[in-house]
Chains A and B, each alone.
Chain A
């Protein structure tokens, strides 16, 4: 009975490793984000092309962005400018709570006498931004128009200077060249910025999804590897000790279940000459390969490469040197 249970657990472990390689590999680009909505008087004006106020259009776009963000464990908040305020408290991103926050934004309001102190809004919110997990994205939905108070471009530049790891992205609802110019200048402050037009996101789902991908996640290259520590050899030899054989027995069980080619990389710490470590690591990688083949892993499935010295971890400490001495089995 116990053996059956162990077999089930082992199968589950192996299947877990295999399925991880097949899963969609989305990785978050930022650890946190803030949605920053412009609620100024000019945003309460009609956007003729959209047949609604710019504020209403901004709400629609922010809601669509919120829906399209994949659940990758972000932290999030929501703020407004003109007037500056906090709509959603910073914490674990909750799509539903963020939707409620977006829904609570004004769509209509008084137009006259309500300027856009955008720079003051940035300044008011900057304290909250400083506490957000890095990297962080601030997604600004604004028309950039009717500014008063602190220069928003200068204030955004000051935040970049004081707060590494922050990036302003722009969803523009500008309907004047001056407003667009302000937003363009903010976007030009840092090459990280993604700048789009709100109307484009409303008209084209692909554009919306591309914006979300550009700001929130990546599908960049993903590598999968089994890393083995403690695969020890007798001093200055290629003979595996008993414990090393036990570790490799477990590794062989994983490899037999995976029908993929494996590059077996042997690494050493930095003690000794480069040439010595290169040869040593190659011979030890070969010894590991031979042992795995004896355990039933097809030789054609394995390529052994001696990588020599590793500097991935700090060689000045015993702990770092131990981490550098390793065998990596890269699943190709």
Chain B
């Protein structure tokens, strides 16, 4: 009897302590989900680029041909989150990454396409994914 009462008190104590700790655990899970989402999202965006490393766009510039393509530097991806003030989503994140444009020149289309590509432009992009109904969306 006494043992049951004692266990009940411990259980009640755990219940009282639970909101703070479960909130922290929940937030770390949401952050982990954000990291997974961020990399999946950026990888998908990279794959959906019309002009890419495998299919560069080739244009004639003066007497030379220039092959160009854009891709996201997957090493540059980072994401941070915070509680949202909006009634439509619980958290909002800043997803930051760099989109790099590469160019290669050649005397022919083939030479340009198969030449060495150099980075000629960098776009530092930020997006604002939202955490809605238990999952991240953008």
Which residues from chain A sit less than 8 Å from chain B, CB to CB? 2, 6, 9-10, 12-13, 16-17, 20-21, 25, 27-29, 73, 135, 164-167, 190-192, 218, 220-230, 242-243, 246-247, 249-251, 254, 311-315, 317, 319-320, 323
Contacts and interface: CB of A to CB of B under 8 A. Distances in A.
Contact of A313 (B50, B80, B94): B50
Interface string B93-131: 010101010101110000000111111111111111010
A227 B126 contact: yes
A223 B49 CA distance: 19
Given A243-B88, A247-B130, A223 B124 contact: yes
B82 A165 contact: no
A241 B49 CA distance: 28
Summarize B's interface: helix, strand, loop or mixed: strand
B48 interface: yes
B138 interface: yes
Contacts of A243: 88-89
B128 A190 contact: no
Contacts of B127: 226-229
Given A191-B115, A314-B48, A2 B83 contact: yes
Given A20-B96, A191-B115, A247-B128, A220 B86 contact: no
Given A27-B100, A222-B124, A224-B126, 10 more contacts: A9-B83, A27-B122, A164-B114, A165-B116, A190-B116, A192-B104, A246-B88, A250-B92, A311-B50, A312-B49
A10 to B, nearest CB: 6
Summarize A's interface: helix, strand, loop or mixed: mixed
A312 B45 CA distance: 10
Contacts of B82: 6, 9-10, 13
Contacts of B137: 230
Given A13-B82, A221-B122, A230-B138, A250 B128 contact: yes
A111 B13 CA distance: 83
B3 to A, nearest CB: 38
Contact of A6 (B83, B98, B119): B83
Contacts of B61: none
A187 to B, nearest CB: 13
B17 to A, nearest CB: 17
Pick the most buried of B48, B50, B117: most chain A CB atoms within 10 A of its CB.
B48
Given A13-B94, A319-B44, A249 B119 contact: no
A63 B116 CA distance: 25
Pick the most buried of A190, A227, A311, A320: most chain B CB atoms within 10 A of its CB.
A227
B118 A228 contact: no
A246 to B, nearest CB: 4
Contacts of B4: none
A210 to B, nearest CB: 15
B84 interface: yes
A27 B116 contact: no
A22 B24 CA distance: 34
Nearest to A223: B123
